[in-house]
Structure 1
Amino acid sequence: MKVAYDLHIHSALSPCGDNDMTPNNIVNMAFLKKLQVIAITDHNSMLNVLPAMEVAAKRGIVVVPGIEVNTKEEVHVLCYFPTIEEGMKFQDIIYNSLPNIDNREDLFGQQLVLDKDDKVIGDIKKMLLNSSEYSLEEILELVKEHKGVLVPAHVDRNSFSIISSLGFIPESLNIKAIEAYDLNKLSKFNKILELDKYKIIKNSDAHYLTHINEANHYLDLEATSISSVVDYLKDME
């Protein structure tokens, strides 16, 4: 079945995310845009995923537990998990690997933790935009240990992408899916990436509500479920 999606959305927990990016606002905007599956993928943390899942259940929208990790090489990768429990175990490892440097709210914005009613219940002080101490290969192994899947983020961008940082996608990673920010720009990378080898997902990387995808992009899934999305990105059909 064809399922409308956006698997890269930042909440107010990401310092670069607008404070209006609350669980209810994100889910309700996704509902208005007729999306069926979304993922909250904040930088190096998953603390706002569960409240979004709770809100989305009332709207009939599936929220895939996700996180955007900044590797040691400064490559942004999206990591998705079949359960919130596995995702939170992984996020604890990633969060603890970040350097103990305080966030500069005046420069980067707040890092707000919210509940299902959009009440602020915390403000993370450690800077979430920093790089993990783990390499890309190490993070891939950690994702696998927690039954998840890794997708290189915005491979067509000039910064924080696997292409801008490494120049290629190592065969040893056995990557099955990649994320494009601009599909037209991505086509220019065909000689480097051999695009036919990958499933390509088109996400918004939204930091503002209006930037969340319209229902213009679809996954071909067995069912509208978290496990179906994760299996699809693992190339298990």
Structure 2
Amino acid sequence: MSMLYYDLHIHSCLSPCGDKDMTPANIAGMAAVKGLDVIALTDHNSCRNCPAAMRHAEDLGITLIPGMELTTSEEVHVVCLFPTLEAAMDFDQYVYLHLLPVKNRPDIFGEQLILDEKDQITGTLEKLLINATDIPFYRTEALVAGFHGLCFPAHLDRSSTSLLSNLGFIPPESTFRCAEIRDLTKLHQLRRDHPYLESCRILSNSDAHYLWDIREPDLQIPCASRSIPDILEVLSAPPAYIQHAGDRRD
């Protein structure tokens, strides 16, 4: 069993709110500089920069999980992770069809840049990616599983765009076994208020939109290997587990 330093919620310059320096090469490079083992690229409602990012991460010995931060019809943010690039890109196509038909205004919201393996711009997306889809939260788990992935609610402790801020509760039919909290000092209170979280593996990711926000190597997950399937298997099973930097790595 190995302990892997992680950051599983990172945005690139494809997200209109992401800095232009958040290119696939720069993200992988910063993760390597910081000593992370596994990262996930999770742009708003799109996976289009995952192909280039995976190539750069592979060259640097980092596992990059292709993913997306899906916005549900209730404007709840959900991190979706996939075992293969093919599955992620299939999900990308599905989500884009269900994204509300509002055009991006780069002068207001920012550019939505698709980059290749040389960090060259190859295209943009017309629809505004930070908008909601018509996919309700209750459908997300089964929907993502249909693309062989897993999902979990993002930044539960945020006052907006989170499951708890927007719905006010964890739906009783939920089956997710992983959840994200930005401030771990709030975990005890959240578990007391929402006992469902006792059965969840709790992650704390950066939700980085700037290179300097990518997480330092201070949290780890235990895993049999660095392969994406092994990592997703760990994330799909309880119990909650957080290990801090300074603990011995196998």
**TM category, shorter:** over 0.9
1:90–1:142 CA contact under 8 A, matched in 2: no
Could you tell me which runs of 5 or more consecutive residues in structure 1 were left unpaired when the two chains were aligned: none
Deviation at 1:136, TM superposition (A): 1.0
Secondary structure, aligned partner of 1:42? strand
Matches within 5 A, 1:188-199: 188-194=189-195, 195-199=197-201
Secondary structure, aligned partner of 1:147? coil
1:86–1:147 CA contact under 8 A, matched in 2: yes
Q: Which residue number in structure 1 is paired with residue 216 of structure 2?
A: 214
> Between the two proteins, what is the percent identity of the paired residues?
44
CA RMSD across the alignment: 1.2
How many residues matched? 237
Q: Which residue number in structure 2 is paired with residue 203 of structure 1?
A: 205
Matches within 5 A, 1:88-103: 88-103=89-104
1:3–1:37 CA contact under 8 A, matched in 2: yes
2:141–2:176 CA contact under 8 A, matched in 1: no
Q: Which residue number in structure 2 is paired with residue 158 of structure 1?
A: 159
Which shifted more, 226-235 or 207-216?
226-235
Which shifted more, 162-171 or 21-30?
162-171
Name the CA distance, whole Å, in 2 between partners of 1:65 and 1:17: 17
Q: Which residue number in structure 2 is paired with residue 109 of structure 1?
A: 110
2:151 is matched by which residue type in structure 1? Answer: L
Deviation at 1:101, TM superposition (A): 1.1
Deviation at 1:185, TM superposition (A): 2.7
Render the CA deviation track for 1:180-234: whole Å, top value 9, x for unaligned.
Answer: 1111133332222223221001100000000000110101111111111211111
Render the CA deviation track for 1:131-155: whole Å, top value 9, x for unaligned.
Answer: 1111112222210111111110000
Q: Which residue number in structure 1 is paired with residue 124 of structure 2?
A: 123
TM-score normalised by structure 2 residue count: 0.92
Name the CA distance, whole Å, in 2 between partners of 1:236 and 1:185: 20
Deviation at 1:236, TM superposition (A): 7.4
1:60 is matched by which residue type in structure 2? Answer: G
TM-score normalised by structure 1 residue count: 0.97
1:72–1:136 CA contact under 8 A, matched in 2: yes
Name the CA distance, whole Å, in 1 between partners of 2:131 and 2:235: 26
Could you tell me which runs of 5 or more consecutive residues in structure 2 were left unpaired when the two chains were aligned: 240-250
